[in-house]
């Protein structure tokens, strides 16, 4: 079982991309993009054994998280597929799947839009989508405020995220108390039952390594949505918990309607943390397809 958690690729413009590998080195490759404020380490701290014996997970840090460079004015979600192609080429991988939860979802959709010829399938869980009147329903107040204010006052919000990153790394219990307000009762119960606070901290600290710049950029994406969903040609599997208030079902329904080749599953009684107990079945779907 491969668990190489710190590998580096120097991109053509000089930026550094850091990635981890998990699972079966000879298995079907799936590139997995973490959420926010996570890192490449997320996939290695999930309890139990979330990896399938026939799957090779390649887990890059997204820009501004962990050890992947973020260069303001250069780093954009539209450029992310180029970085993934460069990483795949460096590993000798031609065809691959991509999977992403939450804040990583838009980056998976960017790949579905830009590089469908390289993809075998695409999976997103509780993916962030466009923040528009049709999707502004049943969202936790802190999340709504973030998506509303970040594009209007980017400088102020960048400072706020820097403070959040410091708080998470310095006073984790206080940080968790604040962040749990963004989650439903269903998610808070799962958080306690699985002791997520106990295993997620190393990943979260790595996610905040660069002082929250990745979190800042992520917050700008929903209100400045740049991916034409109706132009996506790749097959997309979408999973969404109906009890999620961090990324509401309204976003999932909107994207499922707009993406031409989308198979959607809306899960009753599930929230944002459903992934921690159901990752294998989603990965298996990407491997097997229909």
- Residue among 100, 47, 96, 57 at smallest CA distance from 77: 100
**CATH at residue 44:** 3.40.50.1820
Q: Hey, which bits of 15-146 come out as E strands?
A: 16-23, 28-32, 55-60, 96-101, 119-125
More confident call, 290 vs 26: 26
Q: Over the stretch 214-232, which tens digit does the pLDDT of each residue have?
A: 999 999 999 999 999 999 9
Mean pLDDT of the chain: 93
- Count how many domains the chain has: 1
pLDDT band at residue 260 using 50, 70 and 90 as cut-offs: very high
Segment of 1-15, 35-49, 172-186, 273-287 carrying the highest mean pLDDT: 273-287
248 contacts: CB under 8 Å, gap ≥ 6: 135, 137, 138, 139
Q: Write down the pLDDT at residue 180.
A: 87
Stretch 88-97: mean pLDDT, rounded?
A: 98
Query: Is residue 134 within 8 Å of residue 105, measured between CB atoms?
Result: no
Q: Over the stretch 3-14, which tens digit does the pLDDT of each residue have?
A: 678 999 999 999
Stretch 40-46: mean pLDDT, rounded?
A: 92
Q: Give the Cα separation of 214 and 161 in Å (integer).
A: 9
Q: Write down the pLDDT at residue 3.
A: 62
Q: Over the stretch 144-178, which tens digit does the pLDDT of each residue have?
A: 999 999 999 999 999 999 999 999 999 998 999 88
Q: Per-residue pLDDT for 289 more than 90?
A: no
Q: Which domain holds residue 67?
A: 2-288
Q: Write down the pLDDT at residue 2.
A: 54
Q: Per-residue pLDDT for 52 more than 80?
A: no
3-state secondary structure of 62: coil
């Amino acid at each position: 079982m491969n668990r190489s958690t710190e590998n580096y690729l120097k991109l053509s413009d000089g930026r550094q991309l850091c990635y981890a590998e998990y699972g079966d080195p000879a298995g079907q490759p799936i590139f997995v993009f973490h959420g926010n404020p996570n890192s490449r380490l997320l996939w290695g701290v999930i309890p139990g054994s979330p990896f399938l014996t026939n799957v090779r997970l390649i887990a890059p840090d997204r820009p501004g998280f962990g050890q992947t460079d973020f260069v303001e004015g250069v780093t954009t979600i539209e450029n992310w597929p180029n970085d993934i192609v460069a990483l795949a080429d460096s590993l000798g991988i031609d065809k691959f799947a991509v999977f992403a939860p939450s804040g990583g979802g838009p980056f998976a959709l960017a790949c579905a839009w830009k590089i469908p010829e390289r993809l075998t399938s695409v999976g997103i869980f509780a993916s962030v989508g466009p923040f528009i009147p049709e999707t502004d329903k049943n969202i936790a107040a802190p999340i709504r405020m973030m998506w509303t204010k970040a594009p209007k006052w980017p400088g102020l919000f960048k400072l706020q995220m820097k403070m959040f990153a410091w708080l998470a790394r310095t006073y984790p219990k206080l940080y968790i108390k604040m962040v749990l307000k963004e989650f439903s009762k269903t998610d808070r119960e799962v958080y306690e039952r699985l002791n997520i606070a106990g295993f997620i901290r190393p990943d979260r600290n790595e996610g905040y390594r660069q002082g929250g710049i990745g979190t800042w950029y992520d917050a700008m994406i929903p209100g400045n949505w740049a991916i034409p969903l109706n132009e996506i040609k790749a097959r997309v599997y979408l999973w969404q918990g109906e009890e999620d208030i961090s990324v509401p079902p309204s976003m999932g329904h909107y994207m499922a309607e707009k993406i031409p080749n989308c198979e959607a599953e809306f899960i009753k009684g599930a929230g944002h943390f459903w992934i921690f107990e159901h990752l294998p079945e989603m990965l298996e779907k990407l491997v097997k397809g229909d």
